[in-house]
Structure 1
Amino acid sequence: MAISLTASAAEHVRRCLGDRTKQAVGIRLGVRSSGCSGLAYVVEYANSLQDGDLTFDSHGVTVVTDPKSLVHMEGMEVDYVREGLQEGLKFNNPNVKDSCGCGESFTT
């Protein structure tokens, strides 16, 4: 699988999708140019599929991405973690070669 979710990340996404009034296909993951290291993750609801989109099923959740983003995220696992009072998605990306000090951007 090119991009996967852990069981806890899939459960979190399912809860978020269930709370929406507008039906979504799944979760869209991508990258955009940003920060001092070059790239940042983009996480959105996938309200529809677009031409060229790639989809992956992970623990019953549809993960959607575009081919240009997949180059930077191939083999990535997304986890949902709670650390103290903070919680959120954690990206375990084997393609990351370096990241900025603040953790907002990375390079592959």
Structure 2
Amino acid sequence: MSVQEENLDDVISSLIDVDEEEETATPQPITEKDYQKEELTGEPVVLTERAARQLEKIKQQEEMDDNLYLRVAVDGGGCSGLSYKLGLDYRTDEDNVYESHGVEIIVAPKHLMYLEGMQIDYPDGLDARGFTFDNPNAVENCGCGTSFAI
């Protein structure tokens, strides 16, 4: 059983065992700030081997600084309300750092709730070319492939 399944079982068990006091309590909304305090249980942002190779190719062609990381972020806008942002950037003290296929990825804490578990690929064929995003948190994706809704 995975950690996520165990956590889900714990949540279901706690909901089933609710006593009368808890049933009458006023529910408090979870804010973005509260979410960031919780331990994230899913996978961090990962790259496929193709995406990692493409990023290294770009860094070499552009003769970029080796101290640059791949920054993955979310911005308001796009067809579905939120859009993905990729760029090479320097790390800050607040960034979360991950490694995938030799590429170091940085994500600001406020973006984790939107990106956790996302896979970035780089198909290079006749029907598709460019970075693509497979985000398990997205409930809706735009046809453009770069915007989504939660």
What TM-score does the superposition give when structure 1 sets the normalisation length? 0.87
**Aligned mates of 1:103, 1:79 — CA distance in 2:** 12
Which has the larger share of strand? Answer: 1
Matched residue type, 1:39? L
Q: Give distance in 2, aligned partners of 1:14 and 1:103.
A: 22
**Equivalent pairs: percent with the same residue?**
35
Q: Which has the higher contact order (CA 8 A, sep 6+)?
A: 1
Farther off after superposition, 93-102 or 34-43: 93-102
Find 2:72's aligned residue among 7, 10, 29: 29
Q: CA deviation at 1:21?
A: 3.0
One-letter code of the match for 2:99? Answer: D
| Partner Cα separation in structure 2 for residue 71 and residue 63 of structure 1 | 16
Distance 2:133 2:45 in 1: 10
Does residue 77 of the first structure (1) align with residue 111 of the second (2)?
no
Q: How far is the alpha carbon of 1:73 from its aligned partner?
A: 0.6
Q: Which residue identity is paired with 1:34?
A: G
Map of 2:148 onto structure 1: 106
Bigger Rg, which one: 2
Q: Deviations over 1:26-78 (max 9, x none)?
A: 211101000242100001112x1113111110010101111111110100111
SS in 2 for 1:27: strand
Q: Which runs of 5+ in 1 are unaligned?
A: none
The answer as to 2:120 corresponding to 1:52 is no
- Structure number with the higher helix fraction is 2
Is 1:41 the counterpart of 2:74? The answer is no
How far off its partner does 1:17 sit?
1.2
Contact 2:44 2:116 in 1 (8 A): yes
Return the alpha-carbon distance in structure 2 between the equivalents of residues 65 and 50 of structure 1: 10
More displaced stretch, 8-17 vs 84-93: 84-93
